[in-house]
Chain A
């Protein structure tokens, strides 16, 4: 069951950019692509815990600001020869507002 909660206006996140949402279990990064797709991922690179929300967003990927690991926003999978995966969360845009699924965020706190 989903429990969509309203987070912010889409325009509060720059195109090809990201902002973070604070949760009790650390930050979730909300990404907005050049094509206005929105994705939610843990704000932590599997390599050395770099803050992904500070990375450069290109296509549907983000490059970690610490050591240039490239992560798919769609799957959370690390691209190229590096290995790892970042947890992703359901996110959508409705009426120009960004919505996150609270059920998943809570599940994350329990996990």
Chain B
């Protein structure tokens, strides 16, 4: 930390009405009162006040309030257990899954001493990811252990409706796709149509029971799921590159499409967003993405670990690629390394901060055999997961989106 001011004294100086948790509107005073009433660790503060229990960005601040209030009585936690179901950390559990060849959730819970019969909403999605990432052929994905967005392949909204985002490879669309999207918006009474930050079109306010039908319509026009709901590959943003731009140095759009076709459908510890810019002017804003490629006259600058959400971070250079294929290989190898080692819900920048960029470079850039092995393992997983879940659900699971029964027509008493 390069801060000149001690963060603890800065927190100590905050007034009692200073908002600490922006999601839940919890002030420093409310946290202090909870501490005085006996909540003396982060878990207890989360449970009693909800502070840091939503997005988690303020966790460090809450811990500092604890440290200021309790002084030496507060020990900054080192390793947190995964959740209340186990004493083991994410890292411990992942190590067990790999070393003991645990290929089912029941085995993990048995071998790692789970204290609950079937986990909870915190551990089950994490375990489901670790198992499918480590044993793509042996483990069968468990939809009931997924958050609703990944179970229903759409984003739940505050009123219980869903949003639907068809994939537009590299941000490219055409008149036919736009007509089909417009028709779907009309047919399903979509109240809001929005252009997203990832160069896609979002249909907001679709009823859950209409999802299979709207997907079938979009499928018929050649579109597939945009995975706007997944901890997986989201979007590859591009600029128009050498196709149209007078400054473009490479075919950035084409590379973006190739990357998206290689990576789509893959599940990752958190969402993954890419961008490819055709020159250093960087119109696709590649330097705040999980993986960003900047095309230059001599090749492709691949950088990783950017963020523009809860944290703002510029990407760091991974390697310079001479060819398009090498840029694709570096990207895939990096994504696979992230899938194999990151803690669930850590974006790549957090993964890199824990393991070190040098550690990442050794495996993805320097060791060519390891790069090839990572790509092979990614491809093995993609042999299962690179497919359109919308088509599958529309064909095989449409019934499960409908009400179990409809009693609204029952005769009134």
Contacts and interface: CB of A to CB of B under 8 A. Distances in A.
A24 B117 contact: no
Given A65-B148, A66-B156, A67-B54, A58 B119 contact: yes
Nearest to B407: A23
Nearest to B159: A49
Contacts of B403: 19-22, 27
B120 A55 contact: no
A22 B403 CA distance: 7
Interface in B1-53: 47-50, 53
Nearest to A51: B160
Contact of A80 (B47, B144, B159): B47
A98 B405 CA distance: 11
B124 A56 contact: yes
A106 B413 contact: yes
A15 B407 contact: no
B120 A58 contact: yes
A95 to B, nearest CB: 17
A100 B87 CA distance: 40
A58 B118 contact: yes
A41 interface: no
Nearest to A27: B403
Nearest to A15: B144
Nearest to B401: A19
A8 B408 CA distance: 16
Interface string A23-42: 11001001000110000000
A34 B118 contact: yes
Contacts of A34: 117-118
B121 interface: yes
Nearest to A18: B404
A30 B404 CA distance: 9
B80 interface: no
12 contacts: A14-B400, A19-B400, A21-B404, A54-B156, A55-B148, A56-B145, A56-B146, A58-B116, A58-B118, A58-B121, A65-B156, A102-B410
Contact of B404 (A15, A19, A65, A105): A19
Nearest to A105: B407
Interface in B87-138: 116-121, 124-125
Nearest to B49: A81
B167 interface: no
A17 B407 CA distance: 21
B174 interface: no
Nearest to B402: A19
B73 to A, nearest CB: 22
Contact of A50 (B147, B160, B404): B160
B121 to A, nearest CB: 4
A64 to B, nearest CB: 9
Nearest to A26: B408
Given A20-B403, A58-B121, A102-B410, 18 more contacts: A7-B404, A7-B405, A14-B143, A14-B144, A14-B400, A21-B406, A22-B407, A24-B408, A30-B404, A56-B124, A56-B148, A58-B120, A59-B117, A63-B120, A63-B121, A65-B148, A68-B121, A81-B50
A12 interface: yes
A81 B405 contact: no
B158 interface: yes
A54 B149 CA distance: 9
Contacts of B160: 49-51, 54
Interface string A80-95: 1110000000000000
